[in-house]
Amino acid sequence: MPFFPIPETLDFFRTLTLLYPHKTLSSMASPFLLLLLLLLLIIVPLSVLSFLVRPKPVKIPLKGRHVLISGGSSGIGLSLARLSAGAGARVSILARNRARLDEAVESVRRATGAEARAFSADVRDYEAVRRAVEEAGPVDVLICNHGVFTPQELEAQDLEEVRFIVEVNLMGTFHLIKAALPEMKRRAKETGLPASIAIMSSQAGQVGVYSYTAYSASKFGLRGLGEALQHEVVADNIHVSIIFPPDTETPGLAEEQKRRPELASIIVGSSGEMKADDVAAKALNGIQSARFIVPCNFEGTMLSIATAGLSPQTSSLAALAEVFGAGFMRFLGLCFQWNWFSAIDKYTKKQRGSM
């Protein structure tokens, strides 16, 4: 059976000819054929992509469910806690500093009237994380938001600092997920509702930048963790999201900028900063939509298309943008790299000339 009813279409053109005898059939048909072709070029790829995208789209409800957020005592994590509590979720916050945790609980109370719970643990310590998660109770939405960053060239950076970054950002995420996963699976099966594991990466987890060697390595690792994990938990109705925020106005960014090498500031200086509340809103929307890749601004969307690779995709429209935008985004990426390498050349010549 043809996709379009051909006999009815021909009758339609005959009727038009009778109504407008002064116009030829070909002159009337051309615009309609162009429109038909345009529709086919959109509908057919969308139909194919809607069949191919996996996991299938779902909505992750928050009301009445348990949301546990690591790194939730400040910045994006605290904003996520307030938004989640405002949406009716039962919120637990995990971080190291007890005093800041207490302040965060009070901030959530003032903003929403809800009572968040706080748990102190170092994500590098699996046993401490396991005990905190056990005390918090079964989790429906796990947001691995913790992270540290100290920008420095690899040659100059102390290996203990590199190890600290990797252990917090990457191993800390492994610890948190491993501790929460068994009860998450059981609870998802018990309730019949989809659960979520969200991992906070960075745009530096999509593209490496000068002096971000340790940080980018840890954040790129989260992408691999998320892709493999989605295969492992999809049968348990658990959906993985990886969030890629840009520089965000947080206490952590303020500290980072004090140590950021001059050349790094030149390269990343063209990128704007986002407010923590805005990043949290984008992140939570992506989590609730069960999207795998969650960009937070226009630049992030371009990066996500350019680096989509073999990552899962739940949206046929987003898949369409990736399929047809990949070539152009690759060209744009080469333009960015040309600009960055030019900045490195210019800076290096300037520094060597002043010696």
Q: Report, as residue numbers or ranges, the catalytic residues.
A: 201, 215, 219
Of the candidates 170, 96, 165, 91, the one whose C-alpha atom is nearest the C-alpha of residue 129 is 96
Q: Which residue has the tokens 């053109």?
A: 13
How many C-alpha atoms does 176 have within 13 Å on its Cβ side? 35
CA 108 from chain centre, in angstroms, equals 24
| Distance (Å, whole) CA 248 – CA 250 | 6
Which helix (DSSP H) or strand (DSSP E) does residue 287 occupy?
helix 276-288
Cβ(229)–Cβ(53) under 8 Å? Answer: no
| Distance (Å, whole) CA 25 – CA 2 | 23
Residue 244, Ramachandran bin (φ over 0: left; ψ between -120 and 50: alpha; else beta): beta
Angle 312-216-258 (CA atoms, 0-180°, nearest 5)?
135
Of the candidates 149, 127, 146, the one whose C-alpha atom is nearest the C-alpha of residue 198 is 146
| Distance (Å, whole) CA 108 – CA 90 | 11
